[in-house]
């Protein structure tokens, strides 16, 4: 009786094994068929790609700038130009873009910085940029003196050689990392230019680091790029810019739903940006310990350790030294641009401040 | 007489301290915490010594560098332990002491209690953390790269 029971259970096990084996084979066959289908698809796609591109010449487009091309005086003209560049390159339509600034008669360090940042961005997207220089002698000279041409080649791919009459603009640019030492050195050189003593100026280092860190943290995840520039305006003033092409400050704010509703009726973007510098919102990361950078920048400007701080981001221009100049722009800038000045007086205010 | 405190001079670590995270740039707050501050604090804590951290000397700081370095310390050892052992010296910019003690410490203690782990942007070697359950320090890789 016992033997019979054992035989039955062995038979059952064998049947189950056979069944499992059948199922395994069936599943393997299905998988094989699926792979064959997928391989066919891949092959047709891979073959099609070179055929499509084989005889296609790169598509080109020229975008012309208006004559008033100073960012701080005519921000809408510059931002409109940048927006046009964005529009023609965002859908990967054109592989070569010519930036025609031949008719420009007024420029500043702001427009040069934004233009160079945009060119960096296009380079990241493998879009070739050709830039025609201004006919106006003053503007042309400023382009060369600024160091803009240090980042460009002529049409034969050769470096443009130009001996600058002044040390003028020094540009640091980066993509996904800060350049602490280079920024620190640039600040020391600017202090030396103003006071004759090569030393660090801590408030300036702080704000440059805050701005740079913000651009890396919040800029487009895959296409980060920032540009820091120093312009030796004259013997008594040095100008700085920090530009990043990304989302802009307003795009990175984390606001409560109730705040959004309230602001829809009560505030424009200028006020919202002002509030961001006063730490009225939390960071997009939602971490409780974040969002110390913008208030730090504001406090340094309020203490007059720097002069004439201007921020252009999204559709807002914020002038910290004269709020009457702050305005909502009719052009949107997908990024953040900071401009500020340093003179000997700022350094003295810092040195003579009362320490707690 | 036996020395009652040990010290860290941040200028010895870097003349140009960087951003918050290792992936954002050199000499970051995350890097400083893992390479210097965590180990030094653990030693001072076990020997019942005070740890003096001197912020004077470098080119300057981003708030995020200091927030990440001292915040992680609070996260790993708790506010009370950190406050009782750390002395921050900043003669050039006393504002940083105020920020660290009034904001960073408090905010990171809340994070610790809420178990909101800090972000690690690279893989670090094992580091020290205070175990409140058995009142001792333990060393392991507590959080992997995010």
Q: How far apart are CA A257 and CA A245, in angstroms?
A: 27
The predicted pLDDT at position A264 comes to: 65
Which positions in chain B have a beta carbon within 8 angstroms of at least one beta carbon in chain A?
Answer: 14-20, 23-27, 58-65, 67, 71, 91-94, 98-99, 103-104, 107-108, 110-111, 116
Is residue B67 within 8 Å of A289, Cβ to Cβ?
yes
Task: Determine, yes or no, domain membership for B112.
Answer: yes
Name the residue with tokens 């301290």. B17
**Short-list A58, A187, A177, CA closest to B19:** A177
Helix (H) / strand (E) element for A341: namely: strand A327-343
Task: Determine, yes or no, domain membership for B69.
Answer: yes
The predicted pLDDT at position B132 comes to: 92
The predicted pLDDT at position A45 comes to: 31
* Chain A hits for B26, Cβ within 8 Å: 177-178, 180-181
Q: Which two tokens stand for residue B142?
A: 């507590």
The predicted pLDDT at position A282 comes to: 64
* Chain B hits for A213, Cβ within 8 Å: 19-20, 24-25, 62, 64
Name the residue with tokens 């994070």. B111
Q: Which two tokens stand for residue A1?
A: 């009786």
A87 and A176 in one domain? Answer: no
A332 and A189 in one domain? Answer: yes
Q: How far apart are CA A79 and CA A111, in angstroms?
A: 9
Distances in Å between the Cα of A105 and the Cα atoms of A68, A114, A165, A216 are: 6, 17, 21, 34
* Chain B hits for A172, Cβ within 8 Å: none
Task: Determine, yes or no, domain membership for B47.
Answer: yes
Domain count, chain B: 1
**Short-list A237, A168, A236, A178, CA closest to A208:** A178
Phi/psi of residue A173, each to 5°?
A: -135, 155
Q: Which two tokens stand for residue A52?
A: 């499509």
Over the range B96-114, which residues count as b (16 or more CB within 10 Å of their CB) and which as e?
bbebbeebbbebbbebbee
A272 and A179 in one domain? Answer: yes
Q: Name the minimum distance, in Å, from the CA of B2 to any CA of chain A.
A: 32
From A140, A161, A182, the end of a domain falls on A161
The predicted pLDDT at position B1 comes to: 47
A282 and A196 in one domain? Answer: yes
Strands B136-140 and A282-283: unpaired
Q: How many CB atoms lie within 10 A of CB A264?
A: 8
The predicted pLDDT at position A252 comes to: 74
State the residue range of the domain holding B62: 5-140
Task: Determine, yes or no, domain membership for B145.
Answer: no
Interface test with A, best of B58, B64, B90 (most A CBs within 10 A): B64
User: Within an 8 Å CB–CB cutoff, is residue A198 touching chain B?
Assistant: no
CATH number of residue A170's parent domain:
3.30.565.10
A246 and A148 in one domain? Answer: no
A277 and A212 in one domain? Answer: yes
CB contact under 8 A, A205 and B15: no
Task: Determine, yes or no, domain membership for B100.
Answer: yes
Per cent of chain A over pLDDT 90 is: 31
Phi/psi of residue A13, each to 5°?
A: -60, -40
Task: Determine, yes or no, domain membership for A35.
Answer: no
User: Within an 8 Å CB–CB cutoff, is residue A288 touching chain B?
Assistant: yes
End-to-end CA distance of chain B: 46
End-to-end CA distance of chain A: 98
State the residue range of the domain holding A171: 166-356
The predicted pLDDT at position B100 comes to: 96
> Side by side, which strands form the sheet with A327-343?
A170-174, A226-232, A237-245, A327-343, A307-319
A352 and A204 in one domain? Answer: yes
From A161, A193, A216, the end of a domain falls on A161
Task: Determine, yes or no, domain membership for B146.
Answer: no
A211 and A79 in one domain? Answer: no
Q: How far apart are CA B124 and CA B142, in angstroms?
A: 9
Q: For chain A, give the mean pLDDT.
A: 80
A308 and A205 in one domain? Answer: yes
Q: How far apart are CA B70 and CA B78, in angstroms?
A: 11
Task: Determine, yes or no, domain membership for B12.
Answer: yes
Q: How far apart are CA B33 and CA B20, in angstroms?
A: 11
Q: How far apart are CA A12 and CA A22, in angstroms?
A: 15
Task: Determine, yes or no, domain membership for A12.
Answer: no
Read out DSSP for A80-148? HHHHHHHHHHHTT--SEEEEE-TT--EE-HHHHHHHHHHHHHHHHTT-EEEEEPPSSHHHHHHHHHHTG
Q: How far apart are CA B15 and CA A181, in angstroms?
A: 8
CB contact under 8 A, A180 and B59: yes
Task: Determine, yes or no, domain membership for A246.
Answer: yes
Q: How many CB atoms lie within 10 A of CB B137?
A: 17
Is residue A132 within 8 Å of A99, Cβ to Cβ?
yes
A344 and A291 in one domain? Answer: yes
Q: Which two tokens stand for residue A282?
A: 């939390």
CATH number of residue A82's parent domain:
3.30.750.24
The predicted pLDDT at position A7 comes to: 72
Q: How far apart are CA B17 and CA B121, in angstroms?
A: 17
Domain count, chain A: 2
Q: What angle do CA A210, B107, A205 make, to 5 degrees?
A: 15
The predicted pLDDT at position A118 comes to: 87
A171 and A144 in one domain? Answer: no
Q: Which residues of chain A have pLDDT under 50?
A: 39-52, 219
Would you give per-residue pLDDT tens digits along chain B (146 residues)? 455 889 999 999 999 999 999 988 899 999 999 999 999 999 999 999 999 999 999 999 999 999 999 999 999 999 999 999 999 999 999 999 999 999 999 999 999 999 999 999 999 999 999 999 999 999 999 999 88
Q: How far apart are CA A39 and CA A28, in angstroms?
A: 16
Task: Determine, yes or no, domain membership for A41.
Answer: no
A301 and A352 in one domain? Answer: yes
**Short-list B115, B16, B113, CA closest to A172:** B16
CA A99 to chain centroid, in Å, comes to: 19
């Amino acid at each position: 009786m016992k033997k019979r029971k054992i035989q039955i259970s062995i038979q059952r096990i064998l049947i189950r094994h056979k069944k499992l084996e059948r199922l395994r084979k069936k599943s393997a066959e299905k998988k094989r068929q699926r792979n064959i289908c997928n391989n066919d698809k891949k092959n047709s796609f891979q073959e099609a790609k070179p055929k499509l591109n084989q005889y296609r010449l790169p598509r080109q487009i020229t975008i012309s700038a208006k004559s008033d091309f100073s960012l701080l005086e005519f921000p809408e003209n510059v931002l409109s130009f940048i927006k046009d560049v964005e529009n023609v390159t965002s859908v990967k339509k054109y592989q070569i873009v010519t930036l025609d600034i031949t008719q420009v008669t007024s420029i500043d360090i702001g427009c040069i910085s934004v233009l160079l940042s945009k060119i960096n961005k296009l380079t990241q997207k493998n879009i070739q940029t050709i830039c025609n220089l201004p006919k106006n002698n003053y503007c042309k000279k400023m382009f060369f003196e600024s160091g803009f041409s240090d980042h460009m080649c002529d049409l034969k791919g050769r470096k443009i050689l130009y001996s600058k009459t002044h040390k003028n603009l020094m540009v640091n640019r980066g993509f996904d990392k800060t350049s602490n030492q280079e920024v620190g050195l640039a600040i020391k050189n600017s202090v030396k230019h103003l006071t004759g003593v090569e030393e660090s100026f801590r408030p300036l280092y702080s704000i440059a680091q805050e701005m740079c860190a913000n651009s890396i943290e919040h800029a487009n995840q895959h296409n980060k790029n920032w540009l820091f520039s120093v312009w030796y305006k004259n013997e008594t003033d040095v100008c700085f810019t920090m530009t990043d092409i990304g989302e802009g400050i307003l795009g990175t704010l984390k606001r409560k739903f109730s705040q959004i509703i309230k602001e829809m009726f009560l505030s424009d973007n200028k006020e919202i940006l002002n509030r961001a510098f006063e730490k009225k919102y939390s960071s997009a990361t939602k971490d409780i310990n974040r969002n110390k950078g913008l208030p730090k920048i504001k406090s340094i400007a309020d203490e007059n350790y720097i002069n004439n701080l201007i921020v252009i981001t999204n559709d807002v221009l914020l002038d910290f030294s004269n709020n009457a100049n702050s305005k909502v722009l009719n052009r949107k800038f997908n990024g953040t641009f900071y401009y500020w000045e340093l003179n000997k007086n700022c350094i003295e205010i810092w040195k003579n401040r009362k320490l707690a | 007489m036996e020395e009652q405190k040990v010290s860290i001079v941040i200028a010895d670590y870097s003349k140009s301290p960087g951003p918050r995270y290792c992936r954002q740039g050199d000499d970051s707050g995350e890097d400083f915490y893992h390479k210097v501050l965590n180990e030094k604090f653990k030693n001072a804590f076990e020997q019942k010594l005070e740890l003096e951290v001197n912020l004077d000397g470098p080119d300057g700081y981003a708030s995020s560098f200091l927030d990440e370095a001292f915040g992680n310390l609070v996260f790993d050892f708790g506010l009370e332990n950190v406050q009782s052992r750390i002395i921050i010296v900043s003669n050039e910019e006393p504002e940083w002491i105020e920020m660290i003690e009034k904001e960073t410490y408090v905010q990171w203690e809340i994070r610790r209690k809420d178990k909101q782990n800090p972000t690690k942007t690279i893989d670090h070697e094992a580091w020290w953390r205070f175990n409140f359950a058995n009142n001792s320090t333990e060393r392991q890789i507590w959080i992997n790269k995010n």
